Amino acid sequence: MRTKPRESNRGFTRVDVVAIFAILLVLLAATSPTWVHLRSQRQREKCVNNLKNIGLASRIFSTGCREDHPWWNPIAEGGTKEYTTDARETWAHFAAHSNELSTPMLLHCPADRQRIPADSFVASGDPGAVRAFVRNDQLSYFLNLGQSEEDPESIASGDRNLTTNGVEVASSSRFTLSSKDVLGWTDGMHRKAGNILLGDGSVHQVTPARLTEAWRQLAAKENQRTNVWLVP
């Protein structure tokens, strides 16, 4: 009497494992660029939203302060003018908008891996509980001290990863721009592009060429109060 052959219970062979691994690598290679692009897009959108909130906070502040920005008023009048000579205190000008901003996390671009966002504008009793916004290394955006809400094309702020004349701007830098300067971006945040906040509250992603063009158009105007920029 013939017995029924037993069904094979063998597991994966080495060839099977290699084949599956190869398929997974192909799928990973095919999908990785898409995921990277989507992540970069989400980071850029978050950065744009941050700058829009900064612009709105600035408008609200200036409406209640003689239509001035905090860096145009002395500390005694609720401003930060005394800090304009030291770029290491750039964060203080943004902190002046703490009443208008819901959280200091709006001052950090998610693509800025070299900066760590703060949790609160106010320090807590426990140093380990809350990261208070008290340093430049929690800030991702530069500040143009000469910005004007009356000029919709005025550059107010933007991503901090700037270059001038082909040289990366160092952290905690204060510099005066001329109409001949060439501006650009490093590839550290948005792949050699960057976001800028204009005087009318709009935010635009611009290439180095467009950034330089926007600056030179602004510098040519006679109503500029100052050409000093602060980079945290």
Q: How confident is the model at residue 122 (pLDDT cuts 50, 70, 90)?
A: confident
Amino acid letter at 204?
A: H
Per-residue confidence (pLDDT) for residue 204, from 0 to 100? 96
* Average pLDDT value for residue range 8-13: 61
Per-residue confidence (pLDDT) for residue 67, from 0 to 100? 62
Between 59 and 231, the higher pLDDT residue:
231
Return the percentage of the chain with pLDDT > 70, whole number. Answer: 80
Is residue 6 over pLDDT 70? no
Judged by average pLDDT, the poorest of 64-78, 85-99, 136-150 is 64-78
Q: How confident is the model at residue 126 (pLDDT cuts 50, 70, 90)?
A: low
Condensed to tens digits (0 to 9), the pLDDT of residues 18-43 reads: 777 767 666 555 556 665 657 778 88
Per-residue confidence (pLDDT) for residue 30, from 0 to 100? 53
CA-based angle 79:81:86, to the nearest 5?
Answer: 130
Per-residue confidence (pLDDT) for residue 82, from 0 to 100? 96
Amino acid letter at 213?
A: E
Per-residue confidence (pLDDT) for residue 41, from 0 to 100? 82
CA-based angle 187:177:60, to the nearest 5?
Answer: 85
Between 223 and 143, the higher pLDDT residue:
143
Q: How confident is the model at residue 130 (pLDDT cuts 50, 70, 90)?
A: low
Q: Is this prediction's pTM over 0.85?
A: no
Q: How confident is the model at residue 151 (pLDDT cuts 50, 70, 90)?
A: confident
Condensed to tens digits (0 to 9), the pLDDT of residues 167-191 reads: 999 999 999 998 899 999 998 899 8
Per-residue confidence (pLDDT) for residue 125, from 0 to 100? 58
88: its two tokens: 């290491």
- Phi first, then psi: give them for residue 228, nearest 5 degrees: -85, 130
